[in-house]
């Protein structure tokens, strides 16, 4: 297996920061550090070779967004290094978000911004202030990262159209393939909407998070395979990057089971394409120079 840069890992410390969303997920109400990831997955000698991770903000309360950056910075020099971070900024403030972006760009680790929209109303991404905000993110030289539900893809399409019109240099990253409902059988509608967004500008998709979109413990990992293959078909190796969504994926699976599935899907791909998915797309997207 090729060397991996995991493009989507969450790290949180319940003693230092508040994460209200964790109240709904009892199995995750523990502290998850980079050291714990190393011990759980990579300390047995038989696991994959992990060159580093991209740490993605874990929705601590907004007023602790810079504290979250400091938390990740404090862990960045472990055996497995943090190579980049996607931080939180309240992009719905529009152009006023520039003060937050100035603070974030002072950290050499921060390469992108994610304002979670998956639990917001349908019109959230349609608001002028939101669109002004993501344009500010792009103009600050940061990746615009989005976490949405599949039903929100049409709103992302319109927001992306404006983003690339006003900031052609932007990079847009879609987390978790836009979270398709793998139990519902709504594959065709999800795929069509995803393809529309993929046709715009520099849009990249994370091959991550699929295992928590269905009853995988009951139905098995094979239920997510068509969705993973479709993401690869839509975006190609050069715009797809592997991510584990650890520790959230522990709700329905485990790190190595997800990695084995992706590795099996890519078995017939060239060495260069596999390297793109497992590391090189993350490097180019987040400007990682090892």
Q: Which residues contact 217 (CB under 8 A, 6 or more apart)?
A: 252, 253
Measure Cα distances from 229 to 129, 167, 201, 205, 235 in Å.
35, 30, 22, 12, 10
**What's the distance, CA 283 to chain centroid?**
14
Quote the pLDDT of residue 46. 60
What is the pTM assigned to this prediction?
0.96
Quote the pLDDT of residue 45. 61
Taking the chain (290 residues) in runs of 10, the rounded mean pLDDT of each run is 90 96 95 91 72 96 97 84 96 98 96 96 94 98 97 96 98 97 89 97 97 88 94 98 97 94 96 97 93
Quote the pLDDT of residue 166. 98
- For residue 210, what are the domain limits? 4-286
Torsion region of 202: left, alpha or beta (phi above 0 gives left; psi -120 to 50 gives alpha): beta
Quote the pLDDT of residue 290. 61
Helices vs. strands in the chain: H and E counts, helices first: 11, 8
* Cβ–Cβ under 8 Å, residues 100 and 125: no
Closest by CA to 133, choosing from 108, 168, 88, 98, is 98
The C-alpha atoms of residue 35 and residue 104 are separated, in whole angstroms, by: 24
The C-alpha atoms of residue 53 and residue 75 are separated, in whole angstroms, by: 11
Number of domains making up the chain = 1
Closest by CA to 110, choosing from 79, 134, 140, is 140
The C-alpha atoms of residue 71 and residue 69 are separated, in whole angstroms, by: 5
CATH of the domain at 154: 3.20.20.140
Residue with tokens 């987040």: 286
Q: What is the dihedral of CA 44, 49, 54, 59, to 10 degrees?
A: -20
Burial class (CB in 10 A: 0-12, 13-18, 19+), 163: buried
């Amino acid at each position: 297996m090729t060397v991996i840069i995991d493009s989507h890992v969450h790290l949180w410390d319940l003693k230092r920061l508040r994460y209200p969303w964790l109240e709904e997920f009892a199995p995750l109400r523990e502290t998850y550090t980079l050291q714990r990831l190393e011990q759980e997955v990579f300390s047995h000698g038989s696991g994959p070779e992990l060159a580093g991770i991209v740490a993605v903000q874990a929705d601590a309360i907004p007023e602790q967004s810079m504290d979250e950056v400091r938390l990740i910075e404090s862990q960045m020099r472990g055996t497995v290094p943090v190579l980049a971070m996607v931080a939180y900024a309240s992009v719905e403030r529009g152009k006023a978000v520039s003060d937050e972006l100035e603070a974030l760009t002072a950290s050499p680790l921060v390469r992108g911004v994610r304002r979670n929209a998956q639990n917001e109303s349908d019109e959230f991404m349609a608001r002028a202030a939101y669109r002004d905000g993501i344009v500010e993110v792009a103009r600050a030289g940061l990746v615009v990262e989005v976490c949405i539900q599949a039903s929100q893809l049409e709103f992302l399409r319109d927001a992306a159209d404006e983003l690339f019109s006003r900031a052609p240099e932007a990079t847009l990253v879609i987390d978790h393939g836009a979270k398709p409902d793998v139990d519902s059988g709504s594959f065709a509608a999800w795929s069509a909407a995803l393809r529309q967004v993929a046709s715009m500008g520099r849009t990249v998709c994370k091959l991550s998070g699929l295992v928590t979109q269905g009853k995988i413990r009951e139905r098995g990992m094979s239920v997510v395979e068509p969705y993973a293959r479709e993401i690869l078909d839509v975006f190609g190796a050069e715009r797809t990057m592997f991510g584990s969504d650890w520790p959230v994926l522990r709700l329905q699976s485990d790190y190595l089971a997800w990695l084995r599935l992706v590795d099996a899907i890519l078995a017939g791909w060239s060495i260069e394409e596999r390297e793109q998915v497992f590391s090189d797309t993350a490097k180019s997207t987040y400007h990682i120079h090892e």
